[in-house]
Structure 1
Amino acid sequence: MRPLPLMLFAAGFGTRMGALTAHCPKPLIKVAGKPLIDHALAIADQAEVTKIVVNLHYLGDQIAAHLGHRDVTFSWESEILETGGGLKAALPHLGNGPVMTLNTDAVWSGQNPLTQLLTAWDPEKMDALLLLLPTDKALGHSGKGDFLLDDQSRITRAHGTNAPIYLGAQILKTRGLAAIPETVFSLNRLWDLAIADGRAYGLIHQGGWCDVGSPAGIALAETLYV
């Protein structure tokens, strides 16, 4: 399938990183010698993505300067809009069709996450396709699971210890964003609508993944490259 436009989330404060993000935005923190956002861009390049939008807020000038050589579009936010508000604000750059989104605070091994999503995406039956991994295989994650999958791979909410978690990579139809009046909100709002309609699906990632949300996550993530 032809790659869809991609939204990279890069606007957050990165508060869990403590002193590391006092003067450096989290997407520029290095893992294995390379900034986190460059790991995300390498995934996009491998998947042959041609349209990339990056949302910016906290220390956004540093990220913009770092990406000055890249053909990407910046969606500047005057305040933190969260994932749903950030995606909604970026729609003029992304278009009206389905989009891919990728968080920039994780590293991956194994199959390309975006390629996996594109291969499995079926717009006839799906409004959302989320990449997941069982909690016991997710490095750097200490919370409970997010979703359960039925025998058709449709997802419902779950809070079980071993239920799969969302990894921060997805394909999503964005038409429902227009009906949400708020400017600051989570994409959970859109997921719940898709779940209620039986049009939200999950896909288990074929590889490793590590959340780099805290300083301890940096060393954990680097084990994926050993």
Structure 2
Amino acid sequence: MPDALMLFTAGKGTRMGSLTRDLPKPLIKVAGRPLVDHALDLVSPMPELRVVANLHTHADKLEAHLSQSSLVLSDERDALLETGGGLRKAIPLLNSSPVFTLNSDAVWKGPNPLECLKSAWDPNKMDALLLLIPSENAIGHMGSGDFALENDSRISRGGPYVYTGAQIIKTERLDEIEEDAFSLNALWDILIQSDRVFGTVYSGSWCDVGRPENIALAENMLRGNADVS
């Protein structure tokens, strides 16, 4: 079972427009609290986890905020490495495989997504387990789904399920990727070829806070309002 978690907090947040001109995206507030604090709420019931967060955009402000917590920082000030490259750089700090990874630009209502992943994880047959949500339930998400889910819970590209930004993944094969900066999609492609990538469906509510207008959607969801479309 993973004993470490990579929290992705280094993105530029360009889709947020003027909101990220002077502020890192993880510090944008939803329901009065920074996005990154909502993410850390999911981690707090699992104190055994070693948590690493990466820094790039407005790094000093994010570092100051995160200094209040016990997590470890992976510095990407010199070059933004994207999710895959950021995870690979953080491996010495995580000192574990597999690991949880969690995006910081979404909010959740319902079961703890990390607990959902733990309960479905089978290291004997899985190299990655992605937490998915049906596209019709993916609040604030633009476009179609990301993955199809087979009867045995293996996933393939394209289909009605959206990746929520939470997963358990083994990191060993990251070394097969030559680029310094790359998306986790590159690692998934390798693992999918080996039929070792699985999905499990989240039963609660989830909102992608990737654009300014989605802040209100997320706040409505957290209040339990029906109109969150």
Q: TM-score, normalised by structure 2?
A: 0.94
Give secondary structure in 1 for the equivalent of 2:44: helix
CA contact (8 A) 1:47 1:112 kept: no
SS of structure 2 residue aligned to 1:46: coil
Within 2, Cα distance between the matches of 1:131 and 1:62? 30
What is residue 66 of structure 1 aligned with on the other side?
Answer: 65
Per the TM alignment, residue 3 of structure 1 is displaced from its structure 2 partner at its CA by 4.9
The alignment's C-alpha RMSD in Å is 1.1
| 1:219 pairs with one of 198, 207, 216 | 216
Supply the AA of the counterpart residue of 2:74.
Answer: S
Partner of 1:48: 47
User: How far does the alpha carbon of each residue in 1:170-222 deviate from its partner, in whole angstroms, 9 at most, with x for none?
Assistant: 00000001121211111111111111111100010110000001110100000
Q: Check conservation: 1:7, 1:102, Cα contact below 8 A.
A: yes
Q: Mark the CA change 1:34 to 1:111 in structure 2 (over 3 Å): closer, same or farther.
A: same
Per-residue deviation, 1:113 = 0.4
Distance 2:49 2:185 in 1: 27
What amino acid maps onto 1:20 in structure 2? L
Spell out structure 1 runs of 4+ moving beyond 4 A: none
Distance 1:69 1:145 in 2: 37
SS of the aligned residue for 2:213 comes to helix
Report the equivalent of 1:118. 118
Amino acid at match of 2:16: M
Partner-residue secondary structure (3-state), 1:215: coil
Distance (whole Å) between structure 2 residues aligned to residue 185 and residue 123 of structure 1? 25
Taking structure 1 as the reference length, what is the TM-score of the superposition?
0.96
- Name the CA distance, whole Å, in 1 between partners of 2:202 and 2:126: 18
* 1:160-175 equivalences in 2 (<5 Å): 160=159, 163-175=160-172
Query: Identity percentage over the alignment?
Result: 55
Partner of 2:136: 136
